[in-house]
Amino acid sequence: MAHFEEIAHLQDREITPGERWVYSADFNISLQGQALRSTSRIDVEVADARHILKGGGRVLFLAHQGRYKDSDTEDLDYVVPYLREVLGVEVCYFPENATPGAEEFSRQIRPGTAAVMGNTRKHPGEEQNDPSLAQRFSLLGDYAAIGGFGKAHRAHASNVGILSHLPGYITESQLREMECLAPWAGAQEEEFFLAVLGGTKREKITIGLDGFLQTYDGIIPGGIVLNTILKVKGYAIGDSLIEDSGRAYERETKEMLQRENRGTIYLPERVIIAGRNGEQFSDVRLVGIDEGVPEGSMIVDYVLPPTALASLERMVAERGRLLLAGTPGIVTAGFSQATQPLIEMMRRNKDKCIVVGGDSAAELGYDGPTSVGGGSALYFVAHGTTPIIDALLLNRRLFST
């Protein structure tokens, strides 16, 4: 596990009035109508930001929404009213972040106030951890506070690259998430562990499936994980989603399935399929997986197989642990055939079951342990560290000499 005592902690740092703090956060939050879909990724940063502000520091938030390669990045001005409300100080928006104008703005804002800077993913170099972009980000501050656990598994310019230029401090929000997740990391032989891997992101395969097959006893798949496994095994999956950002992960999945693993994958015998047009679904029906999914239809849900139900019963009876990262079906469209009994079982063993990922927690309204991290939570549970922790360890050595 990571050596947290070897890195600098923000809450231990006495703030000098006027200091500029670049605060790397995860405000990847969409709007639902005129309101924020979820505020959890902001709420976790409030205590750390207040620590800086109460000392008279200036907070410059660097955050993202969407992805440059998907052309869906937006201005982040819509998070400002909520931040102003929860922080209780003046918060403004500045649409740039890597320009001379942005640097000048960072020197102009008053001590004890904050600003949300432009969306970092409007730069193609953000996700590539471009050194030049990281250096320009660093001109916004004197120190870096690294929050945003939701992106802790990604080495980006605004959270890892910037640590080559500024003394860095880990936030309590990061530490709190890892402390919460620690019981699900490094699964032990004497305890029964289950993972539910659903959703649409590649991390569910490249981090989740890869790690949990080796450390957990069982995996209940859904979404991109289920669809990719079925295709690798030779089943017809029709138009079921297997790509993230234009790439499929069949080769990697096949290699994982061929090696010796601890975990058992509980594949469904009957799946619910439908045709899709945008957000609308039609011709919903139940088919046996051996029948295959025809072209024009996709898997949207399924019936939990007896093997999965038995594993859930064992998890409850033995007080084992379960980690849910994405639902088996498309719950947001009303497909909860597999998810509903799963959540009911989790509530019978609530303190031992965790939902990771801000979207999943918001969709399910789960009242047990949750983590705002999705891919980052998977990475930490699988590896006992994150790229952020590794970068902060190097940063401490770099700036302590």
How many domains does the chain divide into? Answer: 2
Of the candidates 399, 397, 387, the residue with the CA atom closest to the CA atom of residue 146: 387
Confidence of residue 365 (pLDDT cuts 50, 70, 90): confident
Give the rounded percent of residues in the chain with a pLDDT score beyond 90: 85
Within this chain, do residues 108 and 128 fall inside the same structural domain, yes or no? yes
Q: Which residues pair with 105 in a beta bridge?
A: none
φ/ψ of residue 118, rounded to 5: -60, 155
Task: Quote the pLDDT of residue 392.
Answer: 96
Within this chain, do residues 219 and 329 fall inside the same structural domain, yes or no? yes
- Return the ∠ at Cα 53 (arms to 48 and 55), rounded to 5°: 105
Distances (CA, A) of 163 to 122, 158, 339, 393: 20, 8, 41, 10
Within this chain, do residues 155 and 196 fall inside the same structural domain, yes or no? no
Confidence of residue 32 (pLDDT cuts 50, 70, 90): confident
Does 343 score more than 90 pLDDT?
yes
Does 362 score more than 80 pLDDT?
no
Cα distance between residue 48 and residue 228, in whole Å: 40
Does 2 score more than 70 pLDDT?
no
Window from 71-75, 107-111, 112-116 with minimum mean pLDDT? 71-75
Q: What average pLDDT is seen over the chain?
A: 94
Of the candidates 239, 233, 338, the residue with the CA atom closest to the CA atom of residue 290: 233
pLDDT digits (tens, 9 = 90+) for 258-294: 999 999 999 999 999 999 998 899 999 999 999 999 9
Confidence of residue 373 (pLDDT cuts 50, 70, 90): confident
Within this chain, do residues 33 and 139 fall inside the same structural domain, yes or no? yes
Specify the 3-state DSSP secondary structure of 393. Answer: helix
Q: 246 vs 316, which has greater pLDDT?
A: 316
Within this chain, do residues 172 and 245 fall inside the same structural domain, yes or no? no
Confidence of residue 31 (pLDDT cuts 50, 70, 90): confident
Task: Quote the pLDDT of residue 187.
Answer: 74
Within this chain, do residues 305 and 352 fall inside the same structural domain, yes or no? yes
Q: 81 vs 357, which has greater pLDDT?
A: 81
Does 1 score more than 60 pLDDT?
no
Confidence of residue 5 (pLDDT cuts 50, 70, 90): confident
Does 237 score more than 90 pLDDT?
yes
Cα distance between residue 229 and residue 240, in whole Å: 12
- Return the ∠ at Cα 181 (arms to 176 and 187), rounded to 5°: 150
> What's the residue count for the chain?
401
CATH number for the domain spanning 210: value is 3.40.50.1260
Within this chain, do residues 160 and 241 fall inside the same structural domain, yes or no? no
Distances (CA, A) of 19 to 28, 134, 147, 350: 26, 19, 18, 43
Within this chain, do residues 326 and 241 fall inside the same structural domain, yes or no? yes
Q: Which residues pair with 61 in a beta bridge?
A: 23, 116
Residue 104's Cβ-count burial label (10 Å; 0-12, 13-18, 19+) is: exposed
Cα distance between residue 14 and residue 189, in whole Å: 44
Confidence of residue 400 (pLDDT cuts 50, 70, 90): confident
Q: What is the mean pLDDT of residues 231-235?
A: 98
Does 332 score more than 80 pLDDT?
yes
Enumerate residues 6+ apart whose C-beta is below 8 A from 101: none
Q: Which ranges constitute the DSSP H helices of 152-249?
A: 172-181, 203, 210-215, 223-232
Within this chain, do residues 151 and 272 fall inside the same structural domain, yes or no? no
Structural domain boundaries enclosing 120? 4-178+385-399
Amino acid at 357: G
The two tokens of residue 361 are: 């927690």
pLDDT digits (tens, 9 = 90+) for 8-18: 999 999 999 99
Within this chain, do residues 134 and 247 fall inside the same structural domain, yes or no? no
pLDDT digits (tens, 9 = 90+) for 178-229: 999 999 997 778 899 999 999 999 999 999 999 999 999 999 999 999 999 9
Within this chain, do residues 336 and 261 fall inside the same structural domain, yes or no? yes
Q: How many CB atoms are closer than 10 A to CB 70?
A: 10
Within this chain, do residues 373 and 269 fall inside the same structural domain, yes or no? yes
Give the rounded percent of residues in the chain with a pLDDT score beyond 70: 98
Enumerate residues 6+ apart whose C-beta is below 8 A from 8: 167, 168, 169, 170, 392, 395, 396
Query: pTM for the full model?
Result: 0.87
Task: Quote the pLDDT of residue 358.
Answer: 67
